[in-house]
Amino acid sequence: MSSACRQEEIINQHVVPEERPGAVILEIQGLFSKLVPLECILCYLLDANCSLFLAVVVGQSRLLISYQSADIHCGNCLLEAWYFLWLTDLLRFRWRQHRVAETRTSLLWNGDQAAGMARLVTASQLHWPMLHPVRMGFRSQGKSKEAEIKRINKELANIRSKFKGDKALDGYSKKKYVCKLLFIFLLGHDIDFGHMEAVNLLSSNRYTEKQIGYLFISVLVNSNSELIRLVNNAVKNDLGSRNPTFTGLALHCIANVGSREMAEAFAGEIPKILVAGDTMDSVKQSAALCLLRLYRTSPDLVPMGDWTSRVVHLLNDQHLGVVTAAASLITTLAQKNPEEFKTSVSLAVSRLSRIVTSASTDLQDYTYYFVPAPWLSVKLLRLLQCYPPPDPAVRGRLTECLETILNKAQEPPKSKKVQHSNAKNAVLFEAISLITHHDSEPNLLVRACNQLGQFLQHRETNLRYLALESMCTLASSEFSHEAVKTHIETVINALKTERDVSVRQRAVDLLYAMCDRSNAQQIVAEMLSYLETADYSIREEIVLKVAILAEKYAVDYTWYVDTILNLIRIAGDYVSEEVWYRVIQIVVNRDDVQGYAAKTVFEALQAPACHENLVKVGGYILGEFGNLIAGDPRSSPLTQFHLLHSKFHLCSVPSRALLLSTYIKFVNLFPEVKGTIQDVLRSDSQLKNADVELQQRAVEYLRLSTVASTDILATVLEEMPPFPERESSILAKLKKKKGPSTVTDLEEAKRERSADVNGGPEPAPASASTASTPSPSADLLGLGAAPPVPTGPPPSSGGLLVDVFSDLPSAVAPLAPGSEDNFARFVCKNNGVLFENQLLQIGLKSEFRQNLGRMFIFYGNKTSTQFLSFTPTLICSDDLQANLSLQTKPVDPTVDGGAQVQQAVNIECVSDFTEAPVLNIQFRYGGTFQNVSVKLPITLNKFFQPTEMASQDFFQRWKQLSNPQQEVQNIFKAKHPMDTEITKAKIIGFGSALLEEVDPNPANFVGAGIIHTKTTQIGCLLRLEPNLQAQMYRLTLRTSRETVSQRLCELLSEQF
Amino acid sequence: MWDLPGPGHEPMSPASAGGLSTTAPPRKPWGFRNFKIIYRRYAGLYFCICVDVNDNNLAYLEAIHNFVEVLNEYFHNVCELDLVFNFYKVYTVVDEMFLAGEIRETSQTKVLKQLLMLQSLE
């Protein structure tokens, strides 16, 4: 206790000499091998008045900064501290004369300290004066750089000659020069020799020589295989050494290099050292972490075995340092092999319990500012987060621990030092994170939440930040959601008053996380008002969040429309296309809000300056629903038009294109403005516009308004059908923006919770959300947001315009999706449902005999509304008409809601045919025109007559049909499971007879039959050979006619 | 972590540093991928530590202080020149306290005892 106090004083008074520039980067968890944009760190440190950047980099990661002629980049070499120093000084000129003098003195001092370093210091003496501002000036012109290189090269030449000299160097000199090389390397120069000497040092018996050797290897050696073998040899010797210091050096080297070669050589050895009874504690610590490093680099090379259970028991070790190291190792291993390390849970809990209940003096060395073993507690709590809540017995003990930690947070601090509160809160936050992870103890969750609530107003920025962050995860738990909500006022206050932008950002995140139906209006309002002053960097994210919350929790859609329009007004630039697409989708889909939306956008558009996004939304909504407010003389059709057109010249091309579509929609909505609009379309600025899209629209719309009758206009310019519901594209965008790791979990949790609210946005394949952003100019009517509804296509595609010009509104729709599949299903059966969408169901029932058949088609109206002008048509190509004759009677043109009508088709097969007839159905439903096409499953095999025959006959006929044109063979992959019974059923359903005991191989199927047509009869033989191993089939058809063989083979191949 | 300023100092946000603030770096990289940087300032010295994004902020903030206290004890009132010219010793201290990217030993007494033992071998 007293020692801690004393140290503190020293630190405060002396450790940190005034204005002593410098920085140390410790590499933790292999960061720098992965981190690329180090410029960012550099810029930041530069900016933060840091003038010396010294990076101590341990581990495999070589690091990091290489500064060359004012150009910072990441290199493979180690640090270049001095370069950084020069860089900063160039920019800041903060060095003063006396500081340089002071530096010199201390250099000399250091020089006396270690004789081996004397030369090194001399080299540095040359180095330091360059920091003088005047010299800096020279340096910036490139002169001192040369001087420095000259000096370094001289030194390198000297070392080289020593190494190459006749006299064998003694260990001491070797160490001295290797150390110098290392220093020169650290200065940022390439070192291409000395590796052998460093390796030689490894086999020295003196600690200092060995240590420099290992350091050189750890810092400089990359996977130079030749060298690694030699190094591994030395490491192996030291691992087995009886001197624990040497073993430690070897282990540190392995842990720092951690290459695959080392893993191959030592992964088997280290677990033995770790669990051996006579290993010293400090070696155990190193061995545990060394193993961890090897497991991280090459998990496949670290075999699990007996040692795992003994490692778990290290958690019980007397030495807390060993426990700390073991906890790190076990946490990592348990993440991959939870079963193997399950026993660690109860051990960790009992160890934790002993720590948290101990008095602050009990643990002596491991008490840090009156907090018992804070780092070990954090490690143990982290280990427990690898597992679900433990068994009841252990659980009770754990709950006690967690309660104790929460209680301690309430006690008055034992020291005023920030170190004390930091250490205490480190444990507290980790405990809260475990409580949230278990998410099973409502009592603890609420207590945790209240504790964090206290931190929200703490004077420490760090604590406020961390509390907000931690609360975000608590908000997603059903037990603590309400408790989090009680802090809403504080969080909103933080948003308004917090000075640090990163804390404000966390406050926004938390507001988003705690939002539900009860507080949505308040939160959205606060976010909107914050948006006016928010930092530019986070505006887009806030916009997305507001848009999502407004939609998700809207009770009243007028509020939703208001919110989004406000959003566009306040932060129009940050409103992405997804946001305004979404508001239009919602307005189109909800009748109750359309009138209000039209009125509101009309009012918003009257502002002298409004954002282009508002013009887009306004144009779209007035084009669709302008008629709803046209009754008011203040928003008469002409006023609406003039209002929109006054914005026209300020807009970009896509918006103008959209406005042109609005105008043509106006022509339909308000016949009285037709003349005005035609004048606008006819004007040179439109008809001869340089932009081809605008010009085309103007030409086509003008023509359309002139040529088409009112009826056609009404059809073409019909109100948009509802958009299909799917995942909000905004949510998808937010996820993308935030990155998968940060938002998704929270988002998923929120979604589950709110699934009952407004139906929640439906989870949909990601592709659906990307499909919703076509460029406005690509879509002829600028209707943008949705792909066509899969049922009767809405009157939006280019096809319809063409129809209008030809004045013939009955083109055949393309085949409905899925029609091919349905068609294939009917090849082997005669009855079933052929087609179904939200409106219509088509069923079939058919029978065939010889070359004749009859098919009943049933049309079911699934809606409650009448279908009008219901016209099914059978369409056959000329080819098909010659070979297949179909006769049918027209059906009643109205189909009542819920009713079914039936149509009979008489079929005669005149000759063999390949194509299938198409059934096209057109009707009107609720004012919209529907057009559906499906393939009618009348296929050649329907006219099969099965023929039984004996094996002998079969093969005789088979041989008769040996002409190459008569045989068609197909080898194909099985699309369905290869089940014998199903295959038999399919062959019989296909129409041929299934001949048993004909083929010598019982696994094969053979069939025979006759196709009847009016003109002729065609004998058919078929043979199907399954190959179970390859999941393949070979199908062979032999008939007397080539086309028949071909067609039957096609049809039957599709079935398996 | 970029938003955890050292104790007892005003927040060192790029904007407040003046001078170069017009070229303030984008703030995003500080939560770079799955890492964050936790730093603590001792006058002009910045001690930075890079950890996984879900690691415990305060624990590593104090790990830095623990490390600095050891340096101070070991070098008797440490200054950055001690670190520069005894760089090989600094590596030893780091290896004693942090290994393989994890905390190895937290007891100052134990670390110093080991360091003195190693010193005696020189």
Chain A residues whose CB is inside 8 A of the B118 CB are 207, 211, 245
Within the 716-775 window of chain A, which residues sit less than 8 Å (CB to CB) from chain B? 741
User: Which tokens sit at A953?
Assistant: 């006959």
Which residue would you say has higher pLDDT here, A344 or A879?
A344
- B87 CB within 8 Å of a chain A CB: yes
Q: Residue A81 and residue B84: Cβ atoms within 8 Å?
A: yes
Please give the Cα distance from A939 to A828 (Å, whole number).
10
Q: Which residues of B touch A296 (CB under 8 A)?
A: 100-101
Task: Please state which of the ranges A244-258, A275-289, A828-842 shows the lowest mean pLDDT.
Answer: A828-842
* Calpha distance A591→A599 (Å, rounded): 14
Q: Given this model, what pLDDT does residue A223 score?
A: 58
Which of B28, B83, B87 minimises the CB distance to A22? B83
Cβ contacts from A onto B, under 8 A: 299
Residue of A6, A18, A19, A31 to mutate, testing the B interface (most B Cβ within 10 Å of its Cβ) = A31
Q: Which residues does chain A have within 8 Å of residue B113's beta carbon, measured at their own beta carbons?
A: none
Residues in chain A within 8 Å Cβ distance of B23? 43, 47
Q: C-alpha distances in angstroms, A278 versus A274, A281, A283, A325, A808?
A: 10, 9, 10, 18, 96
pLDDT at position A140, please? Answer: 36
Asked if B79 is an interface residue toward chain A (Cβ–Cβ < 8 A), one would say yes
pLDDT at residue A433 tops 70:
yes
Known binding residue A812? Answer is: no
* pLDDT tops 80 at residue B97: yes
In angstroms, the separation between the Cα of residue B45 and the nearest Cα of chain A is: 4
Question: Is A602 a residue whose pLDDT tops 60?
Answer: yes
**Residue A926 to residue B55: CA distance in whole angstroms:** 60
Task: Answer with the residue of higher pLDDT: A910 or A61.
Answer: A910
Question: What is the distance, to the nearest Å, from the Cα of residue A492 to the centroid of all Cα atoms in its chain?
Answer: 30
| Cβ pair A208:B59 closer than 8 A | no
Give, in order, the Cα–Cα distances in Å from A728 to each of A12, A650, A723, A785, B74. Answer: 55, 30, 12, 11, 60
User: What stretch of H or E contains B40?
Assistant: strand B35-42
What is residue A203's predicted lDDT score, i.e. its pLDDT? 92
Share of chain A above pLDDT 90, in %: 30
Reported residue count of chain B is 122
User: A136 vs chain B: nearest CA distance in angstroms?
Assistant: 19
Q: Provide, as residue numbers in chain B, all residues whose Cβ is less than 8 Å from the Cβ of A286.
A: 99, 104
Residues B24, A44: Cα–Cα separation, whole Å: 7
* Nearest residue to A462 (alpha-carbon basis) of B29, B49, B8: B8
- DSSP states along A381-399: HHHHTTS----HHHHHHHH
Mean pLDDT over A851-878 rounds to: 85
Q: Is B75 on the interface with A (CB under 8 A)?
A: no
Rounded Cα distance between A428 and A371, Å, is: 11
Interchain CB contact of B119 with A (< 8 Å):
no
Chain B residues near residue A326 by CB distance under 8 angstroms:
none
As a whole number of angstroms, the distance between CA A815 and CA A823 comes to 11
d(CA A27, CA A31): 6
Phi, psi of A13 (to 5 degrees): -90, -40
Given a cut of 90, whether residue B27 has pLDDT beyond it is no
Opening angle at CA A215, ends A212 and A218, nearest 5:
155
Q: What is the mean pLDDT of the segment spanning A1042-1048?
A: 85
Helices (H), A884-1031: 951-960, 980-990
Angle between helices A225-239 and A195-202 (to 10 degrees): 10
Q: Is A414 annotated as a binding residue?
A: no
β A840-849/A852-861 pair status: antiparallel
Q: How confident is the model at residue A737 (pLDDT cuts 50, 70, 90)?
A: low
Query: Lowest-pLDDT range, A247-256, A816-825, A843-852, A976-985?
Result: A816-825
The DSSP 8-state label assigned to residue A414 in this structure reads S
Three-state SS at A1016? coil
| Angle (CA) A254 A255 A261, round 5° | 45
| Cβ atoms of A605 and A618 closer than 8 Å | yes
CB contacts under 8 A, B 34-73 vs A, are 34-35, 37, 41-53, 56-69, 71-73
pLDDT given for residue A296 in this prediction: 87
Average of per-residue pLDDT across A486-515:
90
What is the rounded average pLDDT of the residues A326-350?
94
Select the residue of B11, B86, B107 nearest A365 (Cβ to Cβ). B107
Contacts of B25 in chain A (CB under 8 A): 39-40, 43-44, 47
Closest CA to A320 of B66, B107, B109, B95: B107
Lowest mean pLDDT among A529-538, A605-614, A788-797: A788-797
Ramachandran area for residue A889 (φ above 0: left; ψ -120 to 50: alpha; else beta): beta
Across the interface, whether the CB atoms of B44 and A20 are under 8 A apart is answered yes
Buried/exposed code over A998-1025 (b: 16+ C-beta within 10 A; e: otherwise): bbeeeeebbbbbbbbbeeeebbbbbbbb
Q: Which two tokens stand for residue A1003?
A: 């696994």
DSSP label at residue A815: B
ipTM over 0.90: no
- pLDDT of A281 reads 94
Q: CB–CB of B57 and A466 under 8 A?
A: yes
pLDDT-derived band at A224 (thresholds 50, 70, 90) equals: low
Structure token digits, residue A997: 């005991």
Cα A202 versus chain centre, distance: 48
Spell out the residues 6+ positions from residue A454 whose beta carbon is closer than 8 angstroms to its own.
none
The yes-or-no verdict on residue A742 having pLDDT over 70 is: no
- Tell whether residue A177 is among the known ligand binding residues: yes
Question: Is residue A979 very low, low, confident or very high in pLDDT (cuts 50, 70, 90)?
Answer: confident
A42 or A878, which is more confident: A878
Interface contact A49-B8, CB threshold 8 A: no
Per-residue pLDDT band for A269 (boundaries 50, 70, 90) equals very high
Q: According to the model, what pLDDT value does residue A843 have?
A: 87
Interchain contact A358–B (C-beta under 8 A): no
The mean per-residue pLDDT over the stretch A219-224 comes to: 68
A969/A1045 Cα distance (integer angstroms): 9
Which pLDDT band holds residue A743 (cuts at 50, 70, 90)? very low
Average confidence (pLDDT) over A113-130:
24
Looking at the partner chain, which of A51, A58, A289 has a beta carbon nearest the beta carbon of B94? A58
* Contact assessment for residue A282 and residue A315, using Cβ atoms and an 8 Å cutoff: no
Q: Does B10 touch chain A (CB under 8 A)?
A: no
Nearest-Cα distance to chain A for B33, in Å, is 8
Query: Residue A782 in contact with residue A701, Cβ under 8 Å?
Result: no
CB of B116 within 8 Å of a chain A CB? The answer is no
CA distance A32 to A44: 17
DSSP character string of A964-979 = GGGEEEEEEE-SS---
Token match 């960061």: residue?
A31
Chain B residues lying within 8 Å of A107, measured CB to CB: 81, 85
- The dihedral over CA atoms of A375, A377, A378, A380, expressed in degrees to the nearest 10, equals 120
Check if the beta carbon of residue A327 is closer than 8 Å to that of residue A380: yes
Q: Is residue A769's pLDDT more than 80?
A: no
Alpha-carbon span A113 to A535, nearest angstrom: 53
For residue B14, list chain A residues with Cβ-Cβ distance below 8 A: 44, 47-48
Q: Is the pLDDT of residue A512 over 60?
A: yes
A490 pLDDT tier (thresholds 50, 70, 90): very high
Rounded to whole angstroms, how far apart are CA atoms A369 and A540?
A: 44
* Interchain pair A430, B43: CB under 8 A: no
Interface of A with B in 844-863 (CB under 8 A): none
Contact B32 A37 (CB under 8 A): yes
* A252-266, A306-320, A944-958: least confident range: A944-958
Name the nearest CA neighbour of A334 among A281, A294, A382.
A382
Amino acid identity for residue A716 in this structure: V
Predicted local distance difference test score (pLDDT) of residue A428: 96
pLDDT tens digits along A69-116: 222 222 222 223 333 333 333 222 222 222 222 222 222 222 222 222
Average pLDDT, integer, range A274-298: 92
SS3 assignment, position A517: coil
Is the distance from CB of A602 to CB of A595 less than 8 angstroms? no
As a whole number of angstroms, the distance between CA A655 and CA A615 comes to 8
Residue range A695-720: average pLDDT? 85
Question: B-chain residues within 8 Å CB-CB of A282?
Answer: 105, 114
Whether the CB-CB separation of A761 and A552 falls below 8 Å is answered with yes
The answer to whether the CB atoms of B110 and A91 lie below 8 A apart is no
Tell whether residue A179 is among the known ligand binding residues.
Answer: yes
pLDDT at A859 over 60: yes
Quote the mean pLDDT of chain A: 76
**pLDDT value at position A707?**
85
Amino acid symbol at A363: L
Rounded CA separation A1006/A560 (Å): 67
The answer to whether A242 contacts chain B (CB < 8 Å) is no
Q: Residue holding tokens 């907090």?
A: A371
State whether the Cα torsion A67-A71-A72-A74 is positive or negative: negative
CA distance A293 to A28: 11
From residue A772, how far is each of A516, A573, A623, A659, A743 by CA, in Å? 27, 20, 20, 20, 22
Residue numbers of A between 531 and 570 with CB closer than 8 Å to B? 537
Decide: helix, strand or coil at residue A811: coil
Has residue B13 got a pLDDT over 80? Answer: no
Does the annotation place A172 within a ligand binding site? yes
The pLDDT confidence band at residue A16, using thresholds 50, 70 and 90, is: very low
**How high is the pLDDT of residue A470?**
93
Of B41, B64, B91, the CB nearest to A58: B91
Asked if residues A561 and A599 have their Cβ atoms less than 8 Å apart, the reply is no
Contact B49, B68 (CB under 8 A): no
What does the pLDDT read at residue A793?
A: 37
Q: What pTM, to 2 d.p., does this model score?
A: 0.61
Nearest CA in chain A to B5: A462
CA distance B25 to chain A (A): 6
Q: Identify which of A342-346, A473-477, A973-977, B39-43 has the greatest average pLDDT.
A: A342-346
Under an 8 A CB cutoff, do B62 and A368 touch? Answer: yes
DSSP 8-state assignment for residue A286: H
